[in-house]
């Protein structure tokens, strides 16, 4: 069983989550620029960019650069004010989605039930899913057993054998706060998750130019999901280069 599930990562993965940043114009320039950079530097790592829904387009990108959505509803179309569905994603051939991000769970109030419906819908359509998990500060402070219990509950209704799944462990208290988890904490949680689930596992939470090399050298860290520090193109390029060298 373990053997069947085993997935080996040839190159570390790097993903940028734009959240509510950049305009349509600056997103287009950013993606075009990164695209040429990957080509010129012969970078083979998988690179993901998640722009705002208003900035989606038919980007002509190199094979290893994928543009995805930060969110979409689990429908093709219909009456879901403020949401987009696959009718809008298909227009731009988007086939990658971020699901379960902590800002959607904790700020927008998405429940595990809704998240699993979304997951199963996009799984049935073969989307690449970056699925985020992570505990808030009070859970971390309660201890390792509580933290793992909290994380396992975020897998309710989630098919962990799905072939197009990438996981991202992002402790809520480390997102956008400048507080990166301690290396030993990342190592501990990643080892526990990997023992149960053999899927590519990214780390996210205040990753930046100064700490990405250290984060990438932690065992069982297959790449990073970066918010704040990735919105500046020069910083993102520096982090891609460091990722290439790892």
Binding site for ligand PGA (CB under 6 A): 17, 170, 175-176, 204-207, 225-229
Nearer to ligand PGA, 86 or 97 (CB): 97
Helix (H, G, I), strand (E, B) or coil at 112: helix
Task: Please pick, among 46, 101, 103, 190, the residue that the annotation labels catalytic.
Answer: 101
Least distance (Å) between residue 174 CB and ligand PGA: 6
Q: Which residues contact 145 (CB under 8 A, 6 or more apart)?
A: none
In whole angstroms, how far apart are CA 203 and each of 9, 112, 143, 168?
Answer: 15, 21, 20, 6
Active site residue 101: yes
CB nearer ligand PGA, residue 126 or residue 176: 176
CA dihedral sign, ordered 107, 113, 116, 122: negative
Least distance (Å) between residue 98 CB and ligand PGA: 8
Active site residue 106: no
- CB count, 10 Å around CB of 54? 10
Which residue's CB atom is positioned nearest to ligand PGA? 227
Nearer to ligand PGA, 48 or 86 (CB): 48
Residue nearer to ligand PGA on the CB measure, 164 or 211: 211
| Structure tokens belonging to residue 218 | 């932690």
Which residue's structure tokens are 């980007």?
A: 59
State the minimum distance, in angstroms, from the CB of residue 16 to ligand PGA. Answer: 9
Task: List residues with catalytic annotation.
Answer: 101, 170
């Amino acid at each position: 069983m373990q053997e069947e599930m085993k997935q080996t990562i040839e190159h570390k993965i790097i993903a940028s989550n734009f959240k509510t940043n950049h305009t349509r114009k600056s997103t287009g320039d950013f993606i075009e620029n990164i695209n040429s950079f990957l080509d010129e530097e012969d970078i083979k790592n998988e690179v993901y960019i998640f722009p705002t829904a208003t900035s989606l387009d038919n980007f002509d990108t190199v094979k290893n650069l994928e543009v995805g959505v930060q969110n979409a509803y689990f429908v093709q179309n219909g009456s879901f004010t403020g949401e987009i569905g696959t009718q809008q994603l298909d227009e731009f051939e988007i086939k990658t989605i971020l699901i379960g991000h902590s800002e959607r769970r904790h700020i927008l109030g998405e429940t595990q039930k809704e998240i699993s419906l979304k997951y199963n819908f996009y799984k049935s359509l073969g989307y690449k899913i970056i699925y985020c998990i992570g505990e808030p500060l009070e859970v971390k402070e309660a201890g390792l057993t509580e933290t793992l219990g909290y994380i396992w509950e975020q897998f309710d209704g989630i098919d962990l054998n799905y072939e197009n799944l990438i996981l991202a462990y992002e402790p809520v208290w480390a997102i956008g706060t400048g507080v990166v988890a301690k290396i030993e904490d990342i190592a501990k949680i990643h080892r526990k998750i990997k023992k149960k689930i053999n899927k590519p596992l990214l780390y996210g939470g205040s990753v930046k130019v100064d700490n990405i090399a250290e984060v990438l050298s932690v065992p069982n860290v297959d790449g990073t999901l970066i918010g704040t520090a990735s919105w500046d193109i020069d910083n993102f390029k520096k982090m891609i280069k460091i990722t290439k060298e790892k």
